[in-house]
A and B are shown apart, each in its own frame.
Chain A
Amino acid sequence: MTPEPMLRPPEGRRGTRPTTAETWSDPGRWLTAIVESSDSAVIAESLDGIIMTWNAAASRIFGYTADEAIGMPIFRLAYPEEEESIQIVLDAVRRGERIDNLQTSRRHKDGHRIFVSLNLFPIKDEAGAVVGIAKVATDLTNRKNAEEIEARIRIELLAERKYRDLLHHAPDAILEVDDRGRILIANRAAEKLFGYEHDELFGASIEMLVPEANRPDHANHRAAFVKAGKARPMGYGRDLNAKRKDGSEFPVEISLSPIVMETGVLVVAAIRDVTERRRSELQLRLLQEDYLGELSARQQEAERLNRLKSEFLASVSHELRTPLHTIIGFADLLHEDTDHTLTGRQGRFVENIRRDSEHLLALINDVLDLSHIEAGGLAVHPRELSLSAVFTEVMDALRTTWEEKALNVTASCDPDLQLLADPTRLRQILTNLLSNAIKFTGRGGSVQMRGTKEVGFALIAVEDSGIGIAPEELSNIFSKFYQVGVTTGGVREGTGLGLAICKELVEMHAGTLSVASQPGVGSTFSFAIPLL
């Protein structure tokens, strides 16, 4: 029996019996013949599952004639409860997948169950676009143990149901999106989260869930992600928003994972509403700002009090020193006046007044200096200056004291040693050191002030041939109010603050004051100052 041509040839010519002349030389006729002669059902479906062609084997296996079958939805062949599996299979093939040897059951026209092995693959046009689905079904009912197949199908269904339930009951919203941004899977949590029904989500573009403002960015991100193909969290630490059906927007955190398939990359996204978390973060941030603000306010208050203290010190110093200046001045005048007319005793008395007044003044100056430095109120004003000039000034200022003791005081300085230092403070340091050296060096001894140029800094030293400092005293020597036992004059002079102040002043110039000494031989105080 010559089979009736059931394929619709591309030209649209309907089932005409070829003439003997044209028949077997036409490749189209051979194609038709193959299909019709095949033992397996060969069925073409449109993309939405409508049967387009039906061969003889299909009629035999499923029980429908071609006229009955063509135009019918493929779902009519589904055995009860298996409709979803048909849909899944259709979706896969539509995406361009092949399905080989899928053993499953279908429904005969008269209602009984048949077992088949299915091969499905996409039908593509010249451009490669999927235009339909081809299905080749082989009847298994006689060839295999039907019970075996039935059991397996049941297990598969159960497994499928298990995973489906898992997905749909997952606490986080889960979406699967293809590379064109269409939602393929949406679980129950996703429906609830976004306020859509499953049908509204399925097949819709993912952009529907992205607020308009973010859409351009989002499209870029998707493309980049698909390209990178690695699992990644999205929105961590950033402000990522999603949009519900009712238009309201909410902050989300998204984790992404790719499923790489031959036909493209699918993206699985888990989405979490982080409104609460953002609120907590905001609260925390506000709290932090509060604390920082408070901290800043307290700092400012501390600085203000410090300033007040410095101002107080400055005004107090003026009040304390003024009377002393006049006491000392009048003692000087008295000394002048009485040099020749008063007895030696009275002269000594005047001298004592003078000396202790000067001591008191020095003490006040030192205490105020040190307080200033500690309160941070003392600023150094570094300037370019010549070290040799400072040496000369300091030596001249103390000339009477060392000439009195017939000391040999010299200054040696590398030529053109230009420093960056505060002139007043450098003078103060050197005056202190020289004055100490003079105090602790016996008659006829020597003191040398030295300035040598090193790499990047100048090394300044004051060396004396005095009584030296015992090793156990060395560590205390820069402490406040510490005074070494006796000076050469046998008198406790000085304020004990001089070296403490020198140390601070040197440190304010970024240097360190150090001492080397040998009892009975002498001492050397030295420090470094940056070169210009």
Chain B
Amino acid sequence: MKCLIADDAAHARELLWSILEDMGFDILEAADGEEAIRLAILSLPQVIVLNIGLPKKSGIEVVSTLRRQAPLQKTPIIALIAAAGQYEHTHLSQAGFSRVLVKPVNPAELRAVISEFTC
């Protein structure tokens, strides 16, 4: 099972990696929106965790693009947003996200959500 994580901050990616490492996924990392799209299409992961604020292509653009790909239409894509941001949860679900989590994300909660989607 593959999991794609995307965040421009290296330490944030390391945190996500640390949270997910024991779940048995092959973890793929992207540092920007374009790389996220490329890796998603090439590897067709079972779950994707996207930070909203990505360079080159934003989280919203990424999810819109991926949802237009047939094999990725049902893939669980989870958004990570900063608190007090200007993104609205409904707005994000409409864009195509399966779930929205607010940073700092609780490790246990993230794992629980991913399990929910992949079992």
Binding site for B on A (CB under 8 A): 317-318, 321-326, 328-330, 332-333, 336, 358, 361, 365, 368-369, 381, 383, 423-424, 428
A interface footprint on B22-50 (CB within 8 Å = 1, 0 otherwise) = 00000000000000000000000000000
CB atoms of A324 and B104 under 8 A apart: yes
CB atoms of A365 and B106 under 8 A apart: no
How many residue pairs bridge A and B at CB < 8 Å?
Answer: 55
CB atoms of A325 and B104 under 8 A apart: yes
**B71: Cβ under 8 A from any A Cβ:** no
CB atoms of B12 and A330 under 8 A apart: no
In whole angstroms, how far apart are the Cα atoms of A423 and B11 in the complex? 31
- In the complex, chain B residues whose CB is within 8 Å of the CB of A323: 11
Write the chain B residue with the least CB distance to A501. B84
A interface footprint on B61-93 (CB within 8 Å = 1, 0 otherwise) = 000000000000000000000111000111000
A332-B106, A332-B107, A336-B107 given; A326·B9 CB < 8 A: yes
CB atoms of B90 and A423 under 8 A apart: yes
Pick from A318, A423, A424, A428: contact of B53, CB under 8 Å: A318
- In the complex, chain B residues whose CB is within 8 Å of the CB of A423: 88-90
**B19: Cβ under 8 A from any A Cβ:** yes
In whole angstroms, how far apart are the Cα atoms of A330 and B103 in the complex? 13
In whole angstroms, how far apart are the Cα atoms of A368 and B85 in the complex? 10
A-B CB contact pairs (8 Å), 30 listed: A317-B82, A318-B82, A321-B82, A322-B9, A323-B11, A324-B104, A325-B103, A325-B104, A326-B11, A326-B15, A329-B12, A329-B15, A329-B104, A330-B15, A332-B106, A332-B107, A332-B108, A333-B15, A333-B18, A333-B19, A333-B107, A358-B104, A361-B83, A361-B104, A365-B83, A365-B84, A368-B84, A423-B88, A423-B89, A423-B90
- In the complex, chain A residues whose CB is within 8 Å of the CB of B53: 318
In whole angstroms, how far apart are the Cα atoms of A32 and B106 in the complex? 133
- In the complex, chain B residues whose CB is within 8 Å of the CB of A368: 84
CB atoms of A369 and B84 under 8 A apart: yes
Pick from A324, A328, A329, A358: contact of B19, CB under 8 Å: A329
In whole angstroms, how far apart are the Cα atoms of A383 and B90 in the complex? 11
Write the chain B residue with the least CB distance to A365. B84
- In the complex, chain A residues whose CB is within 8 Å of the CB of B105: 325, 329
Given contacts A321-B82, A329-B107, A332-B107, 11 further A-B contacts (CB under 8 A): A322-B12, A325-B15, A325-B82, A326-B11, A326-B14, A329-B15, A329-B104, A329-B105, A330-B18, A333-B18, A383-B90
CB atoms of A424 and B88 under 8 A apart: yes
| Closest 5 A/B residue pairs (Cβ) | A328-B104, A329-B15, A326-B11, A325-B104, A325-B103
- In the complex, chain B residues whose CB is within 8 Å of the CB of A321: 82, 103
- In the complex, chain B residues whose CB is within 8 Å of the CB of A428: 84
- In the complex, chain B residues whose CB is within 8 Å of the CB of A326: 9, 11-12, 14-15
Write the chain A residue with the least CB distance to B15. A329
Q: Which residue, of A321, A322, A328, A333, has the highest number of chain B Cβ atoms within 10 A?
A: A322
In whole angstroms, how far apart are the Cα atoms of A328 and B88 in the complex? 23
Min CB distance, A333 to chain B, in Å? 6
Write the chain A residue with the least CB distance to B88. A424
Min CB distance, B73 to chain A, in Å? 27
In whole angstroms, how far apart are the Cα atoms of A324 and B88 in the complex? 22
Write the chain A residue with the least CB distance to B53. A318
Write the chain A residue with the least CB distance to B14. A326
Min CB distance, B101 to chain A, in Å? 11
Write the chain A residue with the least CB distance to B109. A332
Write the chain B residue with the least CB distance to A330. B15
- In the complex, chain A residues whose CB is within 8 Å of the CB of B103: 321, 325
CB atoms of B108 and A336 under 8 A apart: yes
In whole angstroms, how far apart are the Cα atoms of A247 and B53 in the complex? 75
Q: Which residue, of B9, B11, B83, has the highest number of chain A Cβ atoms within 10 A?
A: B83
Min CB distance, B49 to chain A, in Å? 13
Min CB distance, A19 to chain B, in Å? 123
A358-B104, A365-B83 given; A325·B12 CB < 8 A: yes
